[in-house]
Amino acid sequence: MTRFAAAIAEQIWDMKYRFKSADGEPIDVTVEDSWRRIARDLARVEQDPEFWEQRFFEALEDFKYLPAGRITAGAGTAREVTLFNCFVMGTVPDSMSGIFDMLKEAALTMQQGGGIGYDFSTIRPRGAEVKGVAADASGPLSFMDVWDAMCRTIMSAGSRRGAMMATMRCDHPDIEQFITAKQDAARLRMFNLSVLVTDAFMEAVKVDGPWELQFGGKVYHTLQARDLWNKIMRGTYDYAEPGVIFIDRINKMNNLAYCETIAATNPCGEQPLPPYGACLLGSINLARLVSDPFGPKAALDLEALSDLVAVAVRMMDNVVDVSKFPLPQQEAEAQAKRRIGLGVTGLADALLMLGLRYGSDEAAAQTEEWLHQIARASYLASAELAKEKGAFPLFDAEKYLASGSLIHMDADVRAAIAEHGIRNALLTSIAPTGTISLYAGNVSSGIEPVFAYAYTRKVLQKDGSRTEEEVVDYAVQMWRDLKGDAELPDYFVNAQTLAPADHVKMQAAAQKWIDSSISKTINCPEDISFDAFKDVYMQAYETGCKGCTTYRPNDVTGSVLSVSETSEAAPGEAQAKGAGVTEAGAEVVYMSEPLDRPQALEGHTYKLKWPDSEHAIYITINDIVIAGRRRPFEVFINSKNMEHYAWTVALTRMISAVFRRGGDVSFVVEELKAVFDPRGGAWVQGKYIPSMLAAIGGVIERHMVTTGFLEGEGMGLKSDPKAEVVNLDTPRGKACPSCGQYDMRMIEGCMTCASCGYSKCG
């Protein structure tokens, strides 16, 4: 008898969370083995580890408590990975050496599997004087490009790409360029962007007052606040970027306002964190705690909820002690404050089981009641832990009880904290739970509405065939089991049919009892007017939200899958900020496992001679034939130039890993062809190629066309960043090494760029 409620749940466990040896042999034979592994590892710091191992196992059993993916995959494996999901890095110094020290720290953090958040407001604006070198500053966005390039080369632990959040204050002189940066489709692809919006700015927007952009006490520019607000809104209306973070509210409501200032969040925004702050996440599965679902006595078991919360808090507190950290500063920060982020998933399913329509006043009130109970239980459990193990080191009873979310906390909870202290400075957060919600049987994600009642999932098998299986929302499947073919009641709503105001209402209801923040996407219809769209953000601000992220399908952001009674939109993390969304009518295809490599493969080797490079690059592409169709299986990139060694090896491994997963891998070509080298590209066979990586992408594309995988150049790609054909009848010199423009000319005996002023003579 399997513990999994759906086939997709078992497949997610096998691909993401099941402990396997280096050669792929399962060490966790069953999901019970995974629960036991996690429970044992988190209990080893207890005085009575056997007792707590069993308590922890019972909390994990049947997917009632869901630790975040890093914990589920990494706890008890002895692997050199962090159990923390993400980090906010240290304050970026406004100096060249300091900036690149921060870049190194970011790379080390991503190498262990952590996503990172950064505030780039501390870097002087473009054009500002750099004393001592007689030069102007290049500005924070130029350094963000460097971070973006670094992130592209690093795969996080567990085969997850590194995720990054960049924030910038609304009064930074480069804020307008920050807002529009990702409107260039090839730029900052590894970043989510959010503007740090202050209360003063929001008040200036309301009265259409002036707004000063300043840095270091110097005012660089003054504009109307409403004009800047409209620019932010237009960016997210058209491009889903940037998000908005109400930073003053975050700092005002922070329990630790007396000892830290926050200026950034983790990549999905649910954890505002100080420099070197770490994000430790887990979720209570509310859908598993409802008794008599869809019945006359349907209710969430509040006693069971409180007991489960108490055990979850203890487990998460232990993670602080058992986890590895990429940097010593991150470990010191975590140990000093012991903040955790306990949240929920399955909220919408639980509301459905009680007959409540997501977004209604009744559902909002019920959500607030449940999260109040979780907050109470969390703080009381942490106070008991403080009595047993000691309060977090920076605890100051008077200051702590006078700050943040403690002001409106219940009197008995405040009394317990005053008497015993508290073990964890902050305790609650609501994360995006797209993958772990699938693992738990396809429960609704986080506090999001049900994204789809059912959809058909096509799984690509090793032999090239595809199997189909229906994936059904957890609550819908329960309805079917109890009611048979009875029609779903009117209170069953999904993310596409809800009004944006209902989304905001639910986020605001949840935020009241969440001491950190919430990852929530407000789905807006494509035809929503710009003014109505702006009202969504103003509603979020006025109702106490700490941030706002929307998604409006359009030609730029893409469209969600068509929703119908028989085949609806694919669920999960497509709702999360920055995630891709499948086009209407497209197939949802998942790989069951990587393709096996035959003993021999047929392939071709290509020679790429890049101008000004001493050695050629050789690219070998081997193919596999599946179901009569030839497709790329692996790539080898080699050069005698040792300066190329590291990145060619990395590219070989990463592209080959993608190819071996199967499915539509043509996006690899698109990504490579879009890479722009700021030092300038080169002419290759009559075309201007923007970078050596773009040239490699072109070689792979031509191979795919030759073997029939693609019909032609640019065909099969979402967008084809075609190289511009250069008219060879018009001779041009070398590109400027600073800006890449072909405007280098001899001026006063020195080659000088007429576009940017760069001169080899200094």
pLDDT band at 561 (very low <50, low <70, confident <90, very high): very low
The dihedrals phi and psi of 65, each to the nearest 5 degrees, come to -115, 130
189, exposed or middle or buried, with CB in 10 Å at 0-12, 13-18, 19+?
A: middle
CA distance 517 to 426: 11
- Last-in-domain residue among 264, 299, 331: 264
Query: What DSSP string runs through 614-653?
Result: SS-EEEEEEEEEETTEEEEEEEEEEES-GGGHHHHHHHHH
270 is catalytic: yes
In a domain, 506, yes or no: no
**pTM (2 decimals)?**
0.77
Which of 444, 457, 492 has its CA nearest to residue 582?
A: 457
Question: Could you tell me if 282 and 67 are in contact, meaning their C-beta atoms sit under 8 angstroms apart?
Answer: yes
Give whichever of 235-244, 605-614, 637-646, 652-661 has the largest mean pLDDT: 235-244
Mean pLDDT calculated for residue range 100-108:
91
**Among candidate residues 208, 230, 264, the one where a domain is terminated:** 264
From the candidates 53, 270, 670, 701, give the one annotated as an active-site residue.
Answer: 270
What is the pLDDT at residue 589? 47
Is the pLDDT assigned to residue 643 strictly greater than 90? no
CATH code: domain of residue 204:
3.20.70.20
Of the listed ranges 43-57, 408-422, 443-457, 509-523, the least confidently predicted one is 443-457
Q: Chain centroid to CA 143: how far?
A: 20
Query: Residue 218, exposed/middle/buried by CB under 10 A (0-12, 13-18, 19+)?
Result: exposed
Ramachandran assignment for 396, one of left (phi > 0), alpha (psi -120 to 50 degrees), beta (any other): beta
Residue 229, in any domain of the structure: yes
CA–centroid distance for 34 within its chain: 25
User: Which residue is listed with tokens 């669920």?
Assistant: 571
Q: Are 71 and 77 in contact (CB under 8 A)?
A: no
pLDDT value, residue 678: 66
Confidence category of residue 133, pLDDT binned at 50, 70, 90: confident
Q: Is 294 left (phi over 0), alpha (psi -120 to 50) or beta?
A: left
Q: Taking residues 160-166, what's their average pLDDT? A: 74
**pLDDT over 70 for what percent of the chain?**
85
- Mean pLDDT for all residues in the chain: 86
- How buried is residue 368: exposed, middle or buried, by Cβ count under 10 Å (0-12/13-18/19+)? middle
Torsion (CA) 135, 140, 143, 148 in degrees, nearest 10: -160
Question: Does residue 587 lie in a domain region?
Answer: no
Domain-embedded: residue 213:
yes
Based on the structure, what is the number of domains in the chain? 2
Three-class secondary structure of residue 295 per DSSP? coil
Are the C-beta atoms of residues 286 and 349 closer than 8 Å to each other? yes
Q: Considering the domain boundaries, does residue 626 fall inside one? A: yes
Question: Would you say 383 and 423 are in contact if contact means Cβ atoms under 8 Å apart?
Answer: yes
Those residues with Cβ within 8 angstroms of residue 737's Cβ, 6 or more apart along the chain or in another chain: 679, 680, 758
The three-class DSSP label of residue 324 is strand
The string of pLDDT tens digits covering residues 349-382 is 999 999 999 999 999 999 999 999 999 999 999 9
Tell me, yes or no, if 285 is annotated catalytic. Answer: no
Q: Of 423-432, 449-458, 506-515, where does mean pLDDT reach its minimum?
A: 449-458
The residue annotated as part of the active site, out of 85, 251, 266, 622, is 266
Domain assignment present for residue 412? The answer is no
Size (the chain), residues: 762
**β-pair partners for 637:** 619
Residue 748: pLDDT above 50?
no
At 484, list the tokens.
């048979």
668 with 631: CB under 8 angstroms? no
Catalytic residue among 170, 268, 736, 753: 268
pLDDT 10s digits, 380-423:
999 999 999 999 999 999 999 998 889 999 999 999 999 999 99
What percent of the chain is predicted at pLDDT more than 90?
A: 61
Q: How far apart are CA 409 and CA 418, in angstroms?
A: 12
Give the Å distances, CA to CA, from 98 to 92, 94, 104.
Answer: 7, 7, 10
pLDDT on residue 41: 97
Buried/exposed code over 311-324 (b: 16+ C-beta within 10 A; e: otherwise): bbbbbbbbbbeebe
When pLDDT is cut at 50, 70 and 90, the band that residue 727 belongs to is very low
Tokens of 476: 């819908």
- Kindly state the average pLDDT of the residues 536-552: 95
Q: How does DSSP classify residue 759?
A: B
Cβ density class 552-564: b for 16+ within 10 Å, e for less: bbeeebbbbbebe
Residue 727 lies in a domain: no
Name the H helices within 340-406.
347-353, 361-389, 397-401
DSSP string, 125-146: PTT-EETTTTEE---HHHHHHH
**Cα–Cα distance measured from residue 14 to residue 22, given in angstroms and rounded to the nearest whole number:** 14
Q: Which residues contact 219 (CB under 8 A, 6 or more apart)?
A: 212, 213
For residue 298, what pLDDT is reported? Answer: 97
Contact between 726 and 683 (Cβ < 8 Å): yes
DSSP 14: I
Distance CA(704)–CA(656), nearest Å, equals: 14
The reply to whether 241 falls in a domain is yes
Coil vs helix vs strand at 284: strand
CB 255 within 8 A of CB 313: no
Helix axes 361-389, 500-511, angle to 10 degrees: 30
Tokens for 417?
A: 């904290």
Contact 579, 570 (CB under 8 A): no
Confidence of residue 536 (pLDDT cuts 50, 70, 90): very high
Q: Give me the pLDDT at residue 449, please.
A: 95
Amino acid present at 654: M
Per-residue tokens: 633: 């299986």
Q: Which of 308-312, 611-615, 624-628 shows the highest mean pLDDT?
A: 308-312
- Domain of 124 in residue numbering reads as 86-264
Distance CA 130, CA 339 (A): 39
Q: Which of 249, 264, 279 is the last residue of a domain?
A: 264
